[in-house]
C-alpha cells in the first residue's frame, strides 16, 4: 500500500462532501515518537549509570550519618526504683517522688545546636481513634471552642468544653529533663521546637487552655492556663502526631558545644506512664548533619541498590560476551514456507 502522505494531497478538491478521513499525523497514528528498546547496550548502560550515581550517593549519605553524634539513654526501666519494679504501673500512678538521675558521657565532640529528644516506643499515636481525637478549629480560634464533637471522650468536663480537647492533648507527654554539665546547669532552649506554620496558623494566639486535665482521670501533662496555645510548644510538638509507633519528639535545643568525655547529669521527672502498654522511654541527645539525624539505612540502601545494579551490569556484560546473539532474526518470523504459497 502506498504511503498515505501522497494520497492526502490528492484528495479531490472539488468533492466537498467526501468522507475521506482527514490526514494528520495524529489521526493516522504516525506521530513522531521515540521508541525505547532494551538493547543489551542500553540495559548495561542503565545499570551502570544507576550504580555510578547510587554508590557515591550512598557513600555521601553514610558519611553524613556517621558525622552525627547521638547519645541515646533508655530510662523507663532504670528510673523505677528496684522495689517498685514488680508493679511499675502502680508506681507510676502512685504519688511517690518520680525524680531520677541519669549520667551521660559524651563520646565525641558535639557541636551546637544539640537537639534533645524524647523517644517513645510502642506508642500508637497513629491509631485511628487517637488521630481523629482533636479539634483543629478549636485550637485555632476562641470562637470555635465548642467544636468538640471529634474529641470524645475528652470533650468536656461537666458540660464545659475542654481546651485543647481530645485524646492527643489529654495524653500530653510530661517527663521533664534538667541537664547539667560538670555541675553547671545546661540551658535547654524550648523555644522554636515546633513548626512555624503550626505556631502561627494552627494554634491560636488568643486561645488559652481551659478545663484541661480536670476530668476524673488525668492523662498526661498539664498546661499553663495563662499561656496561649501558640506558645505552648511542647503541646504543639506533641500534637503533630507521629507516623509510626516508635518516634522521637523534640524536647529542646542545647545551644552550646559539648566536648568529648563531658559527663552530663540529667535530673528527670519520670511522670509519663508507658508501663501499662510496655512502652520504652528514651532520652536522646543528637547533633544533625545536612541529612538530619543518625540513620545509616539510607546510605546502606543506596550502596546496596547501586551494588546490585553494578552486579547486574556485569552479569549482562558477561552474558553478551559469552553468548552474543544477533538481534531479532526476521527469517523465522514467518512460518509460511509452503511451496506455491505465493511470494
Partner 1 sequence: MAGERRHKGMRLSKLYSFKCLKPFSKEDHSQIGSRGYSRVVFCNDPDNPEALQLNYRGNYVSTTKYTAANFIPKSLFEQFRRVANIYFLVVAFVSFSPLAPYTAPSVLAPLLFVIGATMVKEGVEDLRRRRQDIEANNRRVLVLSKNGEFSKTKWKNLRVGDLVKVHKDEYFPADLLLLSSSYEDGVCYVETMNLDGETNLKLKHALEITSVEESSIKNFRGGVIKCEDPNEHLYSFVGTLHYQGQQYPLSPQQMLLRDSKLRNTDFIVGVVVFTGHDTKVMQNATDPPSKRSKIERKMDKIVYILFSILIVIAFTGSVFFGIITRRDVTDDGKKMRRWYLRPDRTTVFYEPRRAVLASFFHFLTALMLYGYLIPISLYVSIEVVKVLQSIFINQDQEMYHEETDRPARARTSNLNEELGQVDTILSDKTGTLTCNSMEFVKCSISGTAYGRGMTEVELALRKQKGMSMRPQDDEIKANPTKSVKGFNFWDERVVDGQWINQPNAELIQKFFRVLAICHTAIPDVDGESGEISYEAESPDEAAFVIASRELGFEFFARSQTHISLHEIDHVSGEKVDRVYELLHVLEFSSSRKRMSVIVRNPENRLLLLSKGADSVMFERLAKHGRQFERETKEHIKRYAEAGLRTLVIAYREVDEEEYRIWEEEFLNAKTLVTEDRDALIDAAADKIEKDLILLGSTAVEDKLQKGVPDCIEKLSQAGVKIWVLTGDKTETAINIGYACSLLREGMEKILITLDSPDIETLEKQGDKDAVAKASFQSIKKQLREGMSQTAAAATTDDSANEKPEMFGLVIDGKSLTFALDKKLEKEFLELASRCGSVICCRSSPKQKALVTRLVKTGTGRTTLAIGDGANDVGMLQEADIGVGISGAEGMQAVMASDFAIAQFRFLERLLLVHGHWCYRRIAMMICYFFYKNLTFGFTLFWYEAYASFSGKPAYNDWYMSCYNVFFTSLPVIALGVFDQDVSARLCLKYPLLYQEGVQNILFSWERILGWMLNGIISSMIIFFLTINTLASQAFRKDGQVVDYSVLGVTMYSCVVWTVNCQMAISINYFTWIQHCFIWGSIGVWYLFLVIYGSLPPTFSTTAYQVFVETSAPSPICWLTLVLVTFSALLPYFTYRAFQIKFRPMYHDIIVEQRRTERFESGTRTASAVSGELPVQVEFTLHHLKANLSRRDSWN
Closer CB to partner 1, 90 or 101, in the complex? 90
| 129-to-125, 150, 151, 167, 201 alpha-carbon distances in Å | 9, 10, 10, 9, 24
Task: Please give the Cα distance from 106 to 115 (Å, whole number).
Answer: 14
Instruction: Please identify which residue in 18, 96, 101, 263 interacts with partner 1, judged by CB under 8 A.
Output: 18
Q: What is the separation, in whole angstroms, between the first and last Cα of the chain?
A: 16
Smallest gap from residue 85 Cβ to partner 1 (A): 17
Query: Is 13 a binder of partner 1 (CB under 8 A)?
Result: no
Instruction: Please identify which residue in 248, 266, 268, 270 interacts with partner 1, judged by CB under 8 A.
Output: 248
Query: Is 303 a binder of partner 1 (CB under 8 A)?
Result: no
Query: Is 157 a binder of partner 1 (CB under 8 A)?
Result: no
Query: Is 312 a binder of partner 1 (CB under 8 A)?
Result: yes
Smallest gap from residue 101 Cβ to partner 1 (A): 25
Which positions ≥6 away from 174 have C-beta within 8 Å?
220, 221, 222, 269, 271, 272
Instruction: Please identify which residue in 170, 177, 208, 212 interacts with partner 1, judged by CB under 8 A.
Output: 170
Smallest gap from residue 83 Cβ to partner 1 (A): 20
Closer CB to partner 1, 314 or 319, in the complex? 319
Instruction: Please identify which residue in 48, 52, 57, 100 interacts with partner 1, judged by CB under 8 A.
Output: 57
Smallest gap from residue 183 Cβ to partner 1 (A): 26
Query: Is 302 a binder of partner 1 (CB under 8 A)?
Result: yes
Instruction: Please identify which residue in 110, 236, 250, 266 interacts with partner 1, judged by CB under 8 A.
Output: 250
Task: Please give the Cα distance from 22 to 42 (Å, whole number).
Answer: 38
Q: Which residues are paired to 176 by β-bridges?
A: 269
CB 102 within 8 A of CB 73: yes
Query: Is 66 a binder of partner 1 (CB under 8 A)?
Result: no
SS (H, E, C) 223-286: CCCCCCHHHCHHHHHHHCCCCCCCEEEEEEEECCCECCCCEEEEEEECCCCCCCCCCCEEEEEE
- Phi, psi dihedrals of residue 231, rounded to the nearest 5°: -95, -15
Contact segment (CB under 8 A) with partner 1 among 96-104, 165-173, 179-187, 263-271 equals 165-173
Contact segment (CB under 8 A) with partner 1 among 74-82, 101-109, 222-230, 319-327 equals 319-327
Task: Please give the Cα distance from 242 to 239 (Å, whole number).
Answer: 9
Smallest gap from residue 61 Cβ to partner 1 (A): 7
Residues 123-152 interacting with partner 1 (rule: CB under 8 A): 123-131, 136-137, 140, 152
Query: Is 27 a binder of partner 1 (CB under 8 A)?
Result: yes
Could you give the maximum distance between any two Cα atoms of the chain, in Å? 106
Which positions ≥6 away from 2 have C-beta within 8 Å?
none
Residues 268-297 interacting with partner 1 (rule: CB under 8 A): 273, 276-277, 286, 288-295, 297
Read off the C-alpha cell for 170. 489529654
Closer CB to partner 1, 211 or 289, in the complex? 289
Query: Is 210 a binder of partner 1 (CB under 8 A)?
Result: no
Instruction: Please identify which residue in 9, 13, 35, 103 interacts with partner 1, judged by CB under 8 A.
Output: 35
Task: Please give the Cα distance from 315 to 307 (Å, whole number).
Answer: 12
Closer CB to partner 1, 79 or 114, in the complex? 114
Amino acid at each position: 500500500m502506498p504511503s498515505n502522505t501522497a494520497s492526502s494531497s490528492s484528495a479531490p478538491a472539488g468533492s466537498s462532501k467526501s468522507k475521506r478521513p482527514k490526514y494528520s499525523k495524529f489521526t493516522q497514528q504516525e506521530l513522531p515518537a521515540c521508541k525505547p528498546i532494551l538493547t543489551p547496550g542500553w540495559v548495561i548502560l542503565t545499570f551502570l549509570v544507576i550504580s555510578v550515581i547510587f554508590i557515591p550517593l550512598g557513600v555521601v549519605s553514610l558519611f553524613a550519618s556517621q558525622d552525627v553524634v547521638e547519645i541515646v539513654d533508655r530510662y523507663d526501666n532504670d528510673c523505677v526504683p528496684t522495689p517498685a519494679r514488680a508493679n511499675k504501673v502502680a508506681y507510676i500512678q502512685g504519688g511517690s517522688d518520680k525524680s531520677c538521675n541519669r549520667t551521660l558521657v559524651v563520646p565525641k565532640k558535639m557541636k551546637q545546636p544539640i537537639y534533645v529528644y524524647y523517644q517513645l516506643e510502642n506508642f500508637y499515636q497513629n491509631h485511628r481513634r487517637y488521630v481523629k481525637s482533636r479539634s483543629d478549629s478549636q485550637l485555632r480560634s476562641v470562637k470555635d471552642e465548642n467544636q468538640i464533637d471529634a474529641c470524645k471522650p475528652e470533650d468536656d468536663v461537666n458540660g464545659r468544653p475542654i481546651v485543647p480537647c481530645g485524646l492527643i492533648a489529654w495524653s500530653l507527654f510530661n517527663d521533664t529533663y534538667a541537664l547539667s554539665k560538670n555541675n553547671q546547669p545546661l540551658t535547654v532552649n524550648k523555644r522554636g521546637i515546633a513548626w512555624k506554620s503550626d505556631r502561627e496558623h494552627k494554634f491560636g494566639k488568643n486561645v488559652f487552655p481551659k478545663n484541661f486535665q480536670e476530668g476524673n482521670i488525668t492523662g498526661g501533662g498539664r498546661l499553663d492556663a495563662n499561656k496561649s496555645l501558640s506558645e505552648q510548644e511542647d503541646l504543639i510538638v506533641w500534637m503533630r502526631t507521629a507516623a509510626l509507633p516508635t518516634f522521637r519528639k523534640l524536647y529542646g535545643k542545647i545551644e552550646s558545644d559539648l566536648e568529648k568525655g563531658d559527663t552530663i547529669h540529667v535530673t528527670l521527672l519520670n511522670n509519663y506512664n508507658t508501663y501499662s502498654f510496655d512502652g520504652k522511654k528514651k532520652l536522646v541527645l543528637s547533633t544533625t548533619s545536612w541529612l538530619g539525624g543518625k540513620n545509616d539505612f539510607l546510605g546502606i540502601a543506596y550502596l546496596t541498590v547501586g551494588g546490585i545494579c553494578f552486579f547486574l551490569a556485569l552479569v549482562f556484560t558477561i552474558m553478551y560476551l559469552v553468548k552474543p546473539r544477533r538481534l531479532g532474526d526476521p527469517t523465522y518470523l514467518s512460518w509460511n514456507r509452503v511451496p506455491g504459497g505465493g511470494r
